[in-house]
Amino acid sequence: MSRTQVGIVGAGPAGLTLGQLLHREGIDTVILERRSHEYVEARIRAGVLEHDVAELFDRAGVGGRMRREGLVHTGIELQSGRERHRIAFDELTGKSIVVYGQTEVVKDLIAARLESGRPLHFEVSDVSLHDLDGDRPRIRYAHGGGEQELECDVVAGCDGFHGVSRPSIPAGVLREHTREYPYGWLGILAGVAPSHDELIYAHTEQGFALLSMRSPELSRLYLQCAPDEDLGAWPDERIWAELQARLGTDGWTLHEGTILEKGVTPMRSFVVEPMQWGRLFLAGDAAHIVPPTGAKGLNLAIRDVHVLADALVAWYRDGRRALLDAYSETCLRRIWRAEHFSWWMTTMLHRSPTSDEFILRLQQAQLRQLQTSRAAATALAENYVGLDRV
């Protein structure tokens, strides 16, 4: 049996960031990941970092490449029909966002982890958690051809919605809150320079569309579709035609290029309460999911582990348990605010199969208010760049 202070299940952004934050405070961790190194560094996910999350990566010593290659945006554009209006984050909040793919964040964090020499084990299997309600929880797993057991002070469950951490909590402890949406996103990664220098969120009678980017050479674009959409029904020509129709405005052209990847993502909201039981602490998608419209998923995961890292540092340094005991309550305040923001953005911009003219007019009225009311625009901007306090 081996031993560490904090056992981290999952090497996504949450688990890797927690490991990096604790390493810089001299706290020992072991990170376990069921996927391969290559898979983890290749999976495409979110790409927008809140202002304070980007600064956290700087303080954690992993922000160098992000600052060199990330795209700093000081606003977004909202489109209603063929009319656009800019929400200026810098003018309304004094803050900005950084467009920097989660893939790149993970690469930076893995590089820092390997440089630190702290254990990071890929391709582990048969992970199970034990004695979580005692003072020496254990993680059993298979790795390198043999059975392993890791004794910890604390287990951090950063292994996503389908991981083993949340189901390891006894039945009846957790309350789950969920909302399924009647639409999904058909997303593409295209080898073409972005057609605009900021994100464009478009509400049209044909459905939602989003223009985003990953780099000066790569565009990321999305179309509202059915959650179970058949990708075979969407050849490249149809995708570009639909994007042109939904994002088009007078005097502006959407550049087309080679589609490198495409996929359909269903949308849901999910929150579990509490986010801790015994010595197990859940973080990121293991505890909550938001629809991607508000760009909150990755940011919430990083905010979770920042709270957890601060609580663990206080506990190890002077024995104070107050922050650890309050972990779930502290995180859930921000999570429910982000859930509401993401739900609001989603329902304002998407056309439900059951929408009628009444709902369409309400959506148009909301978008018009964002154009005419500084207070309304400021509320959107504050939530998008990340609230200081909740």
292 included as an active-site residue: yes
Q: How far apart are CA 208 and CA 41, in angstroms?
A: 29
The one catalytic residue among 13, 23, 51, 73 = 73
Using CB atoms within 10 Å of the CB of residue 386, give its burial: 0 to 12 exposed, 13 to 18 middle, 19+ buried.
buried
The active-site residue, picked from 296, 306, 327, 350, is 296
Which of 118, 121, 98, 101 minimizes the C-alpha distance to 42?
Answer: 101
CB neighbours of 59 closer than 8 A, spacing ≥ 6?
Answer: none
Cα angle, residue 352 at apex, residues 351 and 358 outer, rounded to 5°: 75
- Residue 384 falls in the annotated catalytic set: yes
Burial label, 146 (beta-carbon count in 10 A; 0-12, 13-18, 19+): exposed
8 A C-beta contact, residue 149 and residue 140? yes
181 a catalytic residue: no
Whole-number Å distance between alpha carbons of 108 and 264: 27
Distances (CA, A) of 278 to 137, 184, 275, 282, 331: 9, 36, 10, 11, 17
Whether 141 is catalytic is no
- Active-site annotation holder among 292, 316, 327, 350: 292
> Cα 120–295–311 angle (5° rounding)?
50
Q: Has 95 been annotated as catalytic?
A: no
Task: Catalytic residue, from 201, 222, 316, 327: name it.
Answer: 201
Q: What is the DSSP string of 264-289?
A: EEEEEEEEEE-SEETTEEE-GGGTEE
Catalytic residues, which ones? 73, 201, 292, 296, 384
